[in-house]
C-alpha cells in the first residue's frame, strides 16, 4: 500500500523530501525543527503543514485508511504517515516502519 501511495500524486516533492530526511536519520526519527533546517525552511511549521496535508490526502483517496484521533477526538492527520513521541523535552517524528520499508524500495519515475 505505501509503495502505491509514494508512486501516486498523493506524494508531492515537499513531502518526499521530509520523508527522505527521516529515512536517512538514526532510527528514522528526527525533530521537525531539525528537518526544517535541513530542508532550509524558516521553521518547523512548514513541515507540520506538509505532513498534515499528506495525511489528509491519503485518507481522502484511500477510504480504508482512517485518520487517527487525538485524545480530544480531533483528527490527527500527521499520524497517518508518522508516529511521534516526546524525548528529553522535544517531540520527535518517526516514520511508520512499513512506510520506511516502502521508501527504501521506492524509485521515482
- The CATH code of the domain that includes 100 is 1.10.10.10
8 A C-beta contact, residue 42 and residue 36: yes
Grade residue 16 by pLDDT with cuts at 50, 70 and 90.
very high
Residue 109 has pLDDT above 70, yes or no: no
Instruction: State the pLDDT confidence band at 63, using cuts at 50, 70 and 90.
Output: confident
Task: Give the chain's domain count.
Answer: 1
Q: Are 47 and 32 in contact (CB under 8 A)?
A: yes
Q: Is 35 exposed, middle or buried (0-12, 13-18, 19+ CB in 10 A)?
A: buried
Q: What is the average per-residue pLDDT within 29-52?
A: 94
**pLDDT band (50, 70, 90) for residue 56:** very high
pLDDT at 70 over 90: no
Q: What domain range is 76 assigned to?
A: 2-105
Q: At 92, give phi and psi (nearest 5°).
A: -110, 135
Q: What is the mean pLDDT of residues 90-103?
A: 94
- Alpha-carbon distance of 22 to 16, in angstroms, equals 10
From residue 41, alpha-carbon distances to 7, 52, 59, 65 in Å are 25, 16, 26, 29
Amino acid at each position: 500500500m505505501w509503495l502505491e501511495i509514494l508512486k501516486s500524486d498523493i506524494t508531492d516533492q515537499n513531502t518526499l523530501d521530509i520523508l527522505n530526511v527521516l529515512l536517512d536519520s538514526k532510527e528514522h526519527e528526527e525533530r521537525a525543527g531539525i528537518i526544517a533546517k535541513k530542508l532550509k525552511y524558516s521553521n518547523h511549521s512548514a513541515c507540520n503543514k506538509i505532513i498534515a496535508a499528506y495525511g489528509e490526502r491519503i485518507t481522502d483517496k484511500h477510504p480504508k485508511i482512517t485518520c487517527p484521533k487525538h485524545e480530544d477526538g480531533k483528527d490527527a492527520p500527521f499520524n497517518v504517515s508518522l508516529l511521534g513521541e516526546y524525548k528529553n523535552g522535544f517531540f520527535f517524528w518517526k516514520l511508520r516502519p512499513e512506510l520506511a520499508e516502502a521508501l527504501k524500495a521506492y524509485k521515482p519515475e
